[in-house]
Structure 1
Amino acid sequence: MKLVYYYPMSKGAPSNVARNVFEALIAKKDKLPFDEIILYTNNKNKVILGKKYSDIKIFTGKDILKIKNSIVHIPTTPLVFPNSKFLLHVFAKIKKNKLILNYHGDICKELVLRYKYDHKLELSKIPTCILLPILLFSSNKNIVNSYSLANIFKHRYGLGNIEVVPNAIDNCWFLKRHEFIKKSDNSIKIFYHGRLSPEKGVDLLIKGLKLFLSTKSGSTKIYLYIAGDGPQMQYLKALSIQLDIVDNVIFLGNLNQKMIIKYLQKVDAAIYPSILDTFALAILEAFACAECPVYFSKKAGIYDFIIDDGYVLGAFEPNVENISNIVSSIFEKSNKNDNIIEHQKKFAEKYNWTSVIDYYISIYREMYHAN
């Protein structure tokens, strides 16, 4: 039996996770039960992947009928759309191969949120939302990265073939960067990094800062640094102007990993106020390298694993008042906890790809041996 792995080349966290999963699989390929591993991509990317993985066979759409007696793994959320990924999905079922699908979020809820907050309807995702039950039941195994998303699929669709596998991060997030040692400064600095979209709740973060500032008279040296980009960028900039805190909110745009680590090791706190988030890699990244307390929403799926692992970290219900109170504690320096940074790092250490990939290997082996 072969493994046919869909390899995405697009930007974004889900595609990056899919690529990291494959790299981790190759590092432990001696534990895999397959006779052969095949990468599946579109024609445009075949040459690029062929150079990167010279010893691995690369399939495209023209090779689709050759996929037999295989486990087909599509590690990014399936879409009903005329592209190479959906073609692989359809032919995997036609040829009666075993199919594994990954879901990185509740696509239907995200579609509703985008329309509610941005007044934009992503028409390309509507067919997927309509046909989602068929997609879910078409696969032999559906992998999700949080218990909260698993519960949504179980209760909404009665789905049973679900495996919960946490996300993970690269080991480079754990490296010490001594050149970024925090320096003393009279101002208070708060940091956020991630996608700027409705489900991330960054508007609550800006409004929470405004509520806190409204309780202070005179000039207050407190700054919110927002790293990232997304559909809400212009709205969030306009919101900071509307609330008259434009001098307190600094938009950094997309930053590379080194710069994100630099900020996380220099600021006084990091806050991630998601209103809907199945895992939130940004929170895990912050846990791994921040030299400050990290506050995060209980609506983020990573909270499930924190509770399971017995940690008490900076979780909160995402609303404006709670964020204002957090900012107040940072400003008053009443959030100091000598153990919190150590606990954040210890939790994060469990969620590296070297460890998490064993979940995928276990799923592969189970499906390989199943009748």
Structure 2
Amino acid sequence: MILQIANDYSGSTVYKSLAQALDEKGLTQVIYTSIREKSLIGKNKIDFKDPNSKIIYSPILNSHTDRIFYKQKIKKILKDVDSKIDVQTISCIHAHTWYSDGGVAYELSKKYNIPYIIAIRNTDLNLFWKLPHLKKYGLEILKNASRVILISKTYKDRVLRDSKIKPLIHSKYSFIPNGIDDFWIQNREERKESIPNIPKLLFIGKFSPGKNVMRLIQAVESLKKQGIPCELNLIGGGGKAETKILEFIKNKKNITFHGKIFDKERLKEFYIRSDIYTMPSKAETFGLVYIEALSQGIPVVFTKNEGIDGLYKRNIGEAVDYNSVESIANGIRRIIINYNNYNFSPKEIIKNHEWKEIAIEYIQIYKAITI
């Protein structure tokens, strides 16, 4: 039985998609997720085919103290896991982050001698690894992991350049990008080859500061002043920046807010009507939505050294400096001017992002480290 530890299980469909694909392959798994709010219980639930698989939502986290006292949080989760799971039945632990999940996996491994794998994500590199008092512990987690999963090429390059990390993982890392929902695989479109006089831009996501929506809007306004009018459709919302963003765009006829849309058929309609997908996030482990956009045949504006940057040699779009409105505007303008040059193949791209194939890779890793 595999124990998956995913602190953000309720906040992302990535973990659900992988768990479903593993379930389809007959793998028994327990997913443990510690949460801050009881309202998250049942989110991203799965009707497992395997009757012994389950998800444990544990509302034990404190929004304030657990963000500050990392070691205390790990001890709390460790105690909770011990009380709710018969750890002796676990053959392998899959921690979905280096620090928040990996710390728990490391402690369980020390106590029960169970092998574990970890993935390195955005907050691991851009937050925890930068904290001096957690570096030594972070290196212990890496040192004792049986395998380290690197999800994006940019993060792979970053960790393999780090003189402290590289010696610990260079012989035991696997590069496994995320998959996308089967809906996009089964309903891909051909690459769009022409662009209208007034291009339609699309953003889908949360209005959090990290998604950088305000700079995207300012870039669209900058292009308008340069004589390059664009329409921008915003889907999503919520987050700390929502009020500011909605106030800023309320009188702008070229920018439309559509709210949250979860229906994939409706989202597909927006992709088909759009010419460029634009999300210059401050940091992004991977960014599934970029691949969704590419599957629908439209080029993307993404952030340099984050997410999908460097993943494909084909010209899929433009990498920009998230901190520069001018860079974002220039990226959009380059795509508009050279639209036919973005000669990627949606069919070839989605081949690398099928969860059923990714599940096979993980199962092979689980087997390899438990022999």
Scaled by the length of structure 2, the TM-score of the pair is: 0.72
The 1:237/1:69 distance shift into structure 2, 3 A limit, reads: closer
Specify the SS of the correspondent of 1:350: helix
Whether the 8 Å contact between 1:274 and 1:299 is mirrored in structure 2 is no
Q: How does 1:125-274 map to 2 (within 5 A)?
A: 131-154=137-160, 155=162, 157-158=164-165, 159-160=168-169, 161-176=172-187, 187-216=198-227, 222-229=230-237, 230-238=239-247, 240=249, 246-256=252-262, 257-274=264-281
Q: Counterpart of 2:220 in structure 1: which amino acid?
A: L
Task: Provide, for residues 183-238 of structure 1, a one-character-per-residue CA deviation record: whole Å limited to 9, x for no partner.
Answer: x987532101123334433333222112212223xxx8632112223333234345
CA distance in 2, matches of 1:188, 1:289: 16
Deviation at residue 127 of structure 1 after TM alignment: 8.6
Per mean C-alpha deviation after superposition, the further-off stretch among 163-172 and 140-149 is: 140-149
The aligned counterpart of 1:357 is 359
* CA spacing shift, 1:138–1:275, aligned 2, 3 Å: same
Q: Please identify, of 90-99 and 134-143, the stretch whose mean Cα deviation from structure 2 is larger.
A: 134-143
Matched, 1:19 2:19: no
Residues 1:91 and 2:108 are matched in the alignment: yes
* Residue identity matched to 1:312: N
Instruction: Find the aligned partners of 1:76 and 1:305 in 2 and give their Cα distance.
Output: 21
Q: Is residue 4–residue 40 contact of structure 1 (8 Å, CA) maintained in 2?
A: yes
One-letter code aligned to 1:18: Y
SS in 1 for 2:311: helix
State the match for 2:316 in structure 1.
Answer: 313
Q: Contact 2:188–2:346 at 8 Å: present in 1 too?
A: no
Residue identity in the other structure for 1:265: I
Please tell me the residue identity of whatever aligns with 1:224.
L
- Alignment match, 1:118: none
The answer as to whether partners of 1:299 and 1:317 remain within 8 angstroms in 2 is no
In the other structure, the counterpart of 1:116 is none
Figure out how many residues of one structure are paired with residues of the other and give that number.
Answer: 329
Q: 2:231, 2:129 → 1: CA distance?
A: 31
2:198 touches 2:230 (CA, 8 Å); kept in 1? Answer: yes
Query: Structure 1 residues 221 and 147 mapped into 2: Cα distance closer, same or farther (>3 Å)?
Result: closer
In structure 2, runs of 5+ residues without a counterpart are 57-80
2: CA distance, partners of 1:313 / 1:201: 21
Q: Say whether the 8 Å CA contact 1:99–1:140 is kept in structure 2.
A: yes
Instruction: Please tell me whether residue 4 in structure 1 is matched to residue 21 in structure 2.
Output: no
Residue 320 to residue 368, structure 1, CA distance change in 2 (3 Å): same
Letter in 2 for 1:246: K
Distance 1:145 1:50 in 2: 23
Counterpart CA distance in 1 for 2:115 and 2:359 is 20
Q: Is the 8 A contact 1:199 1:275 kept in 2?
A: yes
Q: 1:276 aligns with which of 277, 283, 286?
A: 283
Change in 2 beyond 3 A, CA 1:278/1:56: same
Offset at residue 281 of structure 1 (A): 0.9
Q: Identify if the C-alpha distance between structure 1 residues 316 and 227 changes in structure 2 by more than 3 Å, giving closer, same or farther.
A: same
Distance 1:346 1:198 in 2: 33
Gaps of 5+ in 1: 114-124
Which TM-score applies when normalising by structure 1?
A: 0.72
Give 1:306 deviation, angstroms.
Answer: 0.4
For residues 327-346 of structure 1, the aligned pairs below 5 Å read: 327-328=332-333, 334-337=337-340, 340=342, 343-346=345-348
- Contact kept? 1:110, 1:199, Cα under 8 Å: no
Question: Equivalents in 1 of 2:129, 2:243: separation in Å?
Answer: 19
360-369 vs 3-12, which moves further: 3-12
Structure 2 partner of 1:287: 294
Shift of 1:295: 3.1
Over the aligned positions, Cα root-mean-square deviation in angstroms equals 4.0
Q: Which amino acid aligns with 1:253?
A: G
Distance 2:281 2:24 in 1: 33
- State the distance in 1 between where 2:222 and 2:332 align: 10
Q: Is the partner of 1:231 in helix, strand or coil? A: coil
Residue 325, structure 1, aligned to residue 330, structure 2: yes
The answer to whether the 8 Å contact 2:98/2:138 transfers is no
Contact 1:49 1:58 in 2 (8 A): no
2:126 aligned residue: 109
Q: CA deviation at 1:166?
A: 0.6
Q: Deviation at 1:8?
A: 6.6
Q: CA deviation at 1:289?
A: 1.8
- Equivalent-residue separation in structure 2 for 1:168 and 1:225 (angstroms): 25
